[in-house]
Amino acid sequence: MSCARSRTAPGSAARRCSGGSSEGSGWSGRRKAGSRRWTPATARISPAERAFRSNPCGERKIAEGFARTGIPGTREERESVEKRVASWEKLRQDTLKRLGPEAVFGEGSPDARVAIVGEAPGYNEVRQGRPFVGRAGKLLDELLAQSGIEREEVYITNVVKIRPTREKGGRTSNRPPRVGEIREGMEALLKELELIEPEVLILLGNTPARALVGKSFAMTKHRGTLFRSVTGTPAVATFHPAYLLRQEGEDYRRVRRLVLEDLAAARRALEEEPELHELE
Ligand code: URA
């Protein structure tokens, strides 16, 4: 494992606006245009960005956000939001067309500073067409809340977009994704991350960690460490909530503590210039 100073984070200055009134929690602070330092949450943000932050993905939601705040932003700001949301929507529709109607695409704020990447959807996710809505998702929401992270502020997605299943004794159950499925999912995932431009990735489990940090990633050894991911974005991996659900008693408490530590490391990466490691 070698160490390197952070590059400039991928949140492009062009997309971030300046001016307007101040608002925001520690979690949602933004970098100043052209700066290599993280802008504290209390930095001034534009009305368009404020509307953006208070809205999950979707043009309609963003339009509602502008209406609700009563602050439309400049035409340039609106166009930039609309363009990115339109590209995201096209990618979503193309992916569903390519992979089928049971594919589960990512969701969340188009301006998220944090993207959470899981392995693959399960039964409940396919039924609802949304990532992390089953038992593991509920636990994830709880862990995020405990870490001071609002689900509405993040973008949540998976490496694999289709539920990998196996049949046994007339029962359908989940199975680990195959290499080809991971490759297929990565095609969409890399484009999603390019559009969202998060400043930090939280990788849940070995599948996203190996796909985005490196094949030699080992959870017990590398969890909680800030790596430079293949997209260039800082990434922290931690245990998958489904793994945590399988633990009991003291093991459950220990793993839960570790996950919370790792989420705190991701959060710190937004507030300080992070030191990034690379897997050899
Ligand atoms: N597990 C995952 O990795 N992703 C989901 O969306 C749900 C469960």
Does residue 185 line the site of ligand 1, with CB under 6 A? no
Please report the pLDDT score of residue 83 as a whole number.
85
Does residue 136 line the site of ligand 1, with CB under 6 A? yes
Q: How far is the CA of 272 from the centre of ligand 1 (A)?
A: 29
**Pairwise CA distance, residues 110 & 119, whole Å:** 21
- Ligand 1 nearest atom to the CA of residue 125, by list position: 6
Interval 179-195: pLDDT, tens? 999 999 999 999 999 99
Q: How far is the CA of 12 from the centre of ligand 1 (A)?
A: 29
What are the extents of the domains in the chain?
A: 103-271
Does residue 132 line the site of ligand 1, with CB under 6 A? yes
Which CATH number is correct for 103-271, 3.20.20.70, 3.30.499.10, 3.30.930.10, 3.40.470.10?
3.40.470.10
Q: In degrees rounded to 5, what are phi and psi of residue 93? A: -70, -40
Nearest to 255 by CA among 135, 81, 139, 124: 139
Please report the pLDDT score of residue 82 as a whole number.
79
Does residue 131 line the site of ligand 1, with CB under 6 A? yes
Residue 199 burial (CB count, 10 A): 21
Interval 199-257: pLDDT, tens? 999 999 999 999 999 999 999 999 999 999 999 999 999 999 999 999 999 999 999 99
- Ligand 1 nearest atom to the CA of residue 124, by list position: 7
What's the pTM value of the predicted model, to 2 decimals?
0.78
Inform me whether the pLDDT recorded for 197 exceeds 50: yes
Does residue 122 line the site of ligand 1, with CB under 6 A? yes
- Position 125 confidence tier, pLDDT thresholds 50, 70, 90: very high
Q: How far is the CA of 161 from the centre of ligand 1 (A)?
A: 10
Does residue 118 line the site of ligand 1, with CB under 6 A? yes
- Ligand 1 nearest atom to the CA of residue 119, by list position: 3
Q: How far is the CA of 19 from the centre of ligand 1 (A)?
A: 38
The per-residue b/e assignment along 224-249, b for 16 or more CB within 10 angstroms, e otherwise, is bbbbbbebebbbbbbbbbbbbeeeee
- Give the CA-trace dihedral at 179, 184, 189, 192, to 10 degrees: 180
Please report the pLDDT score of residue 152 as a whole number.
82
From residue 203, alpha-carbon distances to 38, 178, 235, 240 in Å are 21, 18, 7, 8
Does residue 211 line the site of ligand 1, with CB under 6 A? no
In percent, the amount of the chain with pLDDT more than 90 equals 64
- Position 34 confidence tier, pLDDT thresholds 50, 70, 90: very low
Structural tokens at position 227: 């790596």
Does residue 226 line the site of ligand 1, with CB under 6 A? no
In percent, the amount of the chain with pLDDT more than 70 equals 73
Does residue 29 line the site of ligand 1, with CB under 6 A? no
From residue 71, alpha-carbon distances to 18, 23, 48, 75, 208 in Å are 15, 14, 7, 11, 38
CB 161 within 8 A of CB 95: yes
Does residue 107 line the site of ligand 1, with CB under 6 A? no
Pocket probe mutation, ligand 1, options 125, 141, 175, max atoms within 8 Å of Cβ? 125
Inform me whether the pLDDT recorded for 169 exceeds 90: yes
Does residue 158 line the site of ligand 1, with CB under 6 A? yes
Inform me whether the pLDDT recorded for 161 exceeds 80: yes
- Position 175 confidence tier, pLDDT thresholds 50, 70, 90: very high
Q: How far is the CA of 71 from the centre of ligand 1 (A)?
A: 36
From residue 35, alpha-carbon distances to 31, 38, 59, 191, 194 in Å are 7, 8, 29, 25, 20
From residue 229, alpha-carbon distances to 213, 214, 276 in Å are 5, 8, 9
Please report the pLDDT score of residue 266 as a whole number.
96
Please report the pLDDT score of residue 73 as a whole number.
65
Interval 43-100: pLDDT, tens? 344 444 544 444 444 444 544 444 444 445 677 776 777 788 899 999 999 999 999 9
Structural tokens at position 170: 């007339």
Q: How far is the CA of 135 from the centre of ligand 1 (A)?
A: 9
